[in-house]
Amino acid sequence: MASHCLRHSNQQHLLPYGVGLAIALAGCWHPIATPEAVQQVEDTFATHRRELRRLAMTAMDELEQSNERSMRLPDRSFYDSAWVSEALESGAIHVDVVIEDFYLPLVYVSTDDPQDVHDTCTHGGRMVKQLEPHWYICQRDWN
């Protein structure tokens, strides 16, 4: 009887750890590029296309005139954050705009080749959808 109570008591202490681990793993395996999330990025691009194009062109000019490899871009009400960077491997300039989900950015690629944007659209990420020339929705790897 005592060994049964002891065994039961130990199982109760392990229960919170097992539940926490299950929740953590479920969150890691949850699909990131849901159709709804992709549609939200697509809709934001359609609504703010002119402003996003102007932002990308201005950002690329400013980056080329500076001695920087990347720069944070001004905040706007329709996105969480944005920056412009030069890809070390390809020399392509890309503008990443996080609408709501860091792992599903809207990306402008100067070369119009998403393979040039490592860790976002390829090699640890993937291109989800091309919206028009130079503009892509990509999915970053969650690692």
pLDDT digits (tens, 9 = 90+) for 109-142: 999 999 998 878 888 889 999 999 999 999 988 7
**What's the pLDDT score for residue 124?**
80
Per-residue model confidence (pLDDT) at position 119: 78
Per-residue pLDDT, 29: 46
The predicted-structure confidence for 44-81, as pLDDT tens digits, reads as follows: 999 999 999 999 999 999 999 998 999 999 999 999 99
Domain segments of the chain: what residues?
Answer: 1-30, 32-140
Global confidence as pTM: 0.77
> Up-side HSE of residue 49: CA atoms within 13 Å toward CB?
10
From CA 99, how far away is CA 97, in angstroms rounded? 6
Separation of alpha carbons 39 and 34, rounded Å: 9
